[in-house]
Amino acid sequence: MQIKLIDSVDYEKAAKILYESYIPQWQVAGSPEWSPKYIEYLDKAYIKPRDGPCVGAFDGDNLVGIGFGYINDWNVAEVGKVPTMAICYLGVIPQYQRKGIAISMIKKLEETASSKKVSVLYRICNDELSDGKVLTKCGFTEKIDNAYQMARILGSDMVNKAATFKEYGTIMKQLVKTVAGLPKEKPTIEVGAIRDGTVADASACVEVLASYKDSTQILRDWTESEFESQITNANLLAGTPFAPFFRVWDVNGTIKAFVIGRVEFIHWKAGLCPSGVITDTGFASDLDKKDKINFVLSFIFEIKEKAPEAFGTNVAVAHHEEKTYDKAGFNNDRSRRPLYVKAVGNEFKAWLESQWKYKMYYISYQR
């Protein structure tokens, strides 16, 4: 078996590996419909901007496993900027599992991390899956036991559909218990307008996100070009069932709030079903609670219009604006998503072991 870095990813082959490895195990937590276009989008939107590595496992010429490293910076209170790498989109096809291939691929990503000056590796795992077990074997430790989980049923008309998924894990059970109704009418915004966002809005959105620095002990640090790459590469999803969205609340040229994400096709044991995934969201610090909730509810209506068959939506950002989302009817059960971390180099080892005491996180989640 050869484990090596891949410079130019064959999206067809990568999709086949991720589909075959994820779907059988991840139907309890929901696995996206891995398709070549979707992987091209993830690669170009998230991995490529910071030159993240891709590792492959080869049996002869056959690719049997693949994995990516998503490089991004954290702004950590009392420490400053920490370059990190998320282990993501990593799968080994079933016939080759339990032979140590994932461990070897993660080791390769770790070696590459050091050469790219990354200090910390991480992954937001899922209690019901085996990713945490693999990472423990690779020397990662569980640092947070409740990193991310906010989800909402898209209206009372979707409860029955959601109930068909409820035996598939605790998350679903919890979700079905939450209040699923929506207000009778789409809430209105009193000033300005909610419109589609463009690349020209990237710098204002990044500014909104940076303003969370004082209230968040670990904050994913966005550069304008990283944010832009999410927006511009969304056009790769045109013509596929994945529907990206980027909406901003504009008051006389000032961005008061934004939401970015995509409607994804998710495999559950009960079948394939679309779901809204909110990947980033931000609110200007001068907004009051009611304005924030109205904005959230108004885009919930928009997701419902865009994907009437979708049963739910979730926020794929750890702890971010959780009070706003709680009030907008999201179920906030963060007990199933542990964050596993490993330091590369001694400086951060000591920090992880003795100084990590943070409670407020805004960390991007990647499968």
Ligand X SMILES: CC(C)(COP(=O)(O)OP(=O)(O)OC[C@H]1O[C@@H](n2cnc3c(N)ncnc32)[C@H](O)[C@@H]1OP(=O)(O)O)[C@@H](O)C(=O)NCCC(=O)NCCS
Closest approach of ligand X to the CB of residue 281, in Å: 25
Stretch that binds ligand X, among 85-93, 164-172, 206-214, 342-350 (CB under 6 A): 85-93
Q: Can you tell me the distance from the alpha carbon of 124 to that of 55, in angstroms, rounded to the nearest whole number?
A: 19
Question: Closest Cα partner for 74 from 171, 249, 230, 212?
Answer: 212
Structure tokens at 183: 């207000």
Tell me which amino acid residue 294 is. Answer: N
Stretch that binds ligand X, among 75-83, 126-134, 186-194, 294-302 (CB under 6 A): 126-134
Pick out residues in 38-77 that bind ligand X (CB under 6 A): none
Q: Can you tell me the distance from the alpha carbon of 131 to that of 91, in angstroms, rounded to the nearest whole number?
A: 10
Stretch that binds ligand X, among 100-108, 142-150, 217-225, 326-334 (CB under 6 A): 100-108
Closest approach of ligand X to the CB of residue 70, in Å: 13
Q: How many CB atoms lie within 10 A of CB 340?
A: 23
By CB under 6 A, is residue 137 in contact with ligand X? yes
| CA distances, 158 to each of 171, 192, 243 (Å) | 16, 31, 19
Q: Can you tell me the distance from the alpha carbon of 330 to that of 212, in angstroms, rounded to the nearest whole number?
A: 21
Q: Can you tell me the distance from the alpha carbon of 136 to that of 153, in angstroms, rounded to the nearest whole number?
A: 33
By CB under 6 A, is residue 92 in contact with ligand X? yes
* Alpha carbon 8 to its chain's center: 23
- Of the pair 27, 313, the CB lying nearest ligand X is at 27
By CB under 6 A, is residue 98 in contact with ligand X? yes
Question: Closest Cα partner for 153 from 173, 124, 130, 131?
Answer: 173
Tell me which amino acid residue 307 is. Answer: A
Tell me which of 81, 133, 195, 213 binds ligand X, using CB under 6 A.
133
The conformation of residue 317, written as its DSSP 8-state character, comes to: B
By CB under 6 A, is residue 266 in contact with ligand X? no
By CB under 6 A, is residue 14 in contact with ligand X? no
By CB under 6 A, is residue 21 in contact with ligand X? yes
Binding residues for ligand X, rule CB under 6 A, total 20
Pick out residues in 322-351 that bind ligand X (CB under 6 A): none
By CB under 6 A, is residue 25 in contact with ligand X? yes
Tell me which of 15, 102, 243, 273 binds ligand X, using CB under 6 A.
102
φ/ψ of residue 260, rounded to 5: -135, 140
Stretch that binds ligand X, among 17-25, 36-44, 70-78, 313-321 (CB under 6 A): 17-25
- Of the pair 103, 163, the CB lying nearest ligand X is at 103
Which residues are at the interface with ligand X (CB under 6 A)? Answer: 21-22, 25, 87, 90-92, 97-103, 129-131, 133-134, 137
